[in-house]
Chains A and B, each alone.
Chain A
Amino acid sequence: MQRSERRICTKKGRKHASICLSASSNLLVKFHHSVKTGLPLWLLGFGMDRLRTDMNRLLALLFHQGVLDEQFLQLQQLQDETSPNFVSEVVTIYFRESEKLLRNLRELLSDREFSDYRRMGIHLNQFMGSSSSIGAKRVRNVCAAFRAASEQNNRLGCFHALELLEHEYCYLKNKLHEFFQVEQQRVMAAGVRYPIQN
């Protein structure tokens, strides 16, 4: 752990490592545990409560980081028996739309003769709207910055903003995938009984 701390001298490394280190320090021991047995944790009998805690912890982390905001909670509240996978469905649609938009943005910027900042602004507005729908706060903020750069016709600024946007989006996507997988586990674990209990 020490070496990794030392190596995180760059801006990007620092940004992520600082977030990750704080949460991971007490979890390394547990990592060892699962790794030694080679069994997935939920089969080790850690149970549903643990999984729920995991989910909550992940969510808390994302809230703390500002990746998600309360709109995500609104989505969760909308989920009920009639639509048990509501949040995951909405997020899937969001990913699909966002990838389209990101592709468009990248193509626009890749064009050497690019000058249609207004169209870029339109895409960005759409992206902002979508991101606000699931509560993707950081993505939305980067979109706003991106839009500001495009309003100033600042091509370089747009490039940087796009990089950052893609980065934020991927991070969000990762985390949400994790979240849904834990949720899936929880649903599965709810129907399974383990002989080994902790």
Chain B
Amino acid sequence: MTYFPEEVVEHIFDFVGSHRDRNTVSTVCKAWYQVERLSRRTVFVGNCYAIGPERVMARFPGIKSLSVKGKPHFADFNLVPYDWGGFALPWIVAAARLCPGLEELRLKRMVVTDDGLELLARSFPNFKSLVLISCEGFSTDGLATIATYCRGLRELDLQENEVEDHGCQWLSFFPDSCTSLVSLNFGCLKGEVNGGALERLVARCPNLRSLKLSPAVSVESLNKILARASHLVDLGTGSFAVDHRTDVYHMLMNSFPKFKSLRNLSGFWDASPCCLRAVYPVCTSLTVLNLSYAPAIQGDDLIKIICLCFKLQKLWVLDSIGDKGLAVVASTCKELQELRVFPCDIYGAGTTSVTEEGLLAVSSGCPKLNSLLYFCYQMTNAALITIAKNCPHFTRFRLCILDPGKPDPVTDQPLDEGFGAIVRSCKNLRRLSLSGRLTDQVFLYIGMYAERLEMLSIAFAGDSDKGMIYVLNGCKNLRKLEIRDCPFGDIALLKNVAKYETMRSLWMSSCDITLGGCKALAAKMPRLNVEIINENEETYEFEENLSDLHKLEKIYVYRTVAGPRNDAPDFVWTL
């Protein structure tokens, strides 16, 4: 192959899409490495501390699209302290200097500042798409600079970020000449929205296909917007709170039938059951429906709308849907691929709104189901075994039994056999989250059968170090392992240290890991960063005096070529 001219090799590489394949191709020989690096257009960095930004940009000067992830996944659940790290600025600075052709930036769980956004806005003349997911540290002022300076911006997608509200004027910063927007999502903003500016913006962007509004956008405003945006494919409705006796409501009722292309619906923050009727006309063509932010919509109303959605592929709901509602999903939504059921009532014992029955029904009625996130109060082994038989195509299976360590209520047994059946049957399983009472046995099954597993989340499970060892010795494709509140200690940590270099990261909190164990790990594996996150102020001042037997609350271990990071806060020690 090296006898072909470079252009030919490069052309062939165009067909090599996936990151993994391109990475492999680049290791074949020096010539291929060169061709590959100069022709690479997309780079994905799963851990921003695994490599320095300059090194990435220097290797791939031609990239148009960059994705970077920062904090560990458990940061979503407040397990990672606020100022742990994950700063976006170094990446933006490096890209501004070395990759000015950048067109797309996608950041997840990172700290992004207004300064960073301004630098981004000013540095890339062809910039087209900014996607920020679960980020924080910026305000609407930063958004204003994006609006001002990114000529030709096509996509601004803000998902579940913490954005400081400095006023509603940022939307007016999109110049009149901005007509290129295809996707605009500001659903996570909490502050007021300038309705007029929004309506004018929508009106002058004929290519707008995806629009997700924040809860502050009133239905009056929504009506005006919908009148100008009948080609929308994806709509997040904003508040959707309106009295059904008003003209505004009637206008809304008349708006939806016009949407011939609408396929995705979400938002519905304050929606009441009668307002939901407005969307019935589009239900039959919907492929994605997200009602998980509408606690006022109860089971029967959910059923009424789901009955119409026979093309649905993705459904996110609250557990107020009940087993009864899930049975309706099972009989109606034959194309369903992804289901997420979130708990309505997070605090108390609550009513048993969804149980194993609901999931059983869906598993038997929806043969294409491959992705699941299910919060429930109980699960049985028998149900899991049947579900595994019904749905061998699961790629993502996340089950959260709300009561940690709860066994099968019928047999009082741990759920080892149930989850064992899932990993045995679902040969393509890439992501698994466990819950309920579990012994080391389930980890034996996972190690043996979960060959394609890439991400495993464990909480309140296992009996001994053996559990973790089974996983580390099995699961050859494991990339991310996150564990909390399990009896795994130093023996497990140190049993298979080479494994960690094949993985992106390991998180362990409230386990039995000691300082001595981490020191040993760091000593054996210099290309890992072994971070100890110690929020207990009494101890971190005396770090030198801590004994090796001191139990550690939180550790985060990840492979890196960049060495210990230089932006770690006081409470993070890298050994």
Check if A and B associate.
Answer: no
Residues of A whose CB lies within 8 Å of any CB of B are none
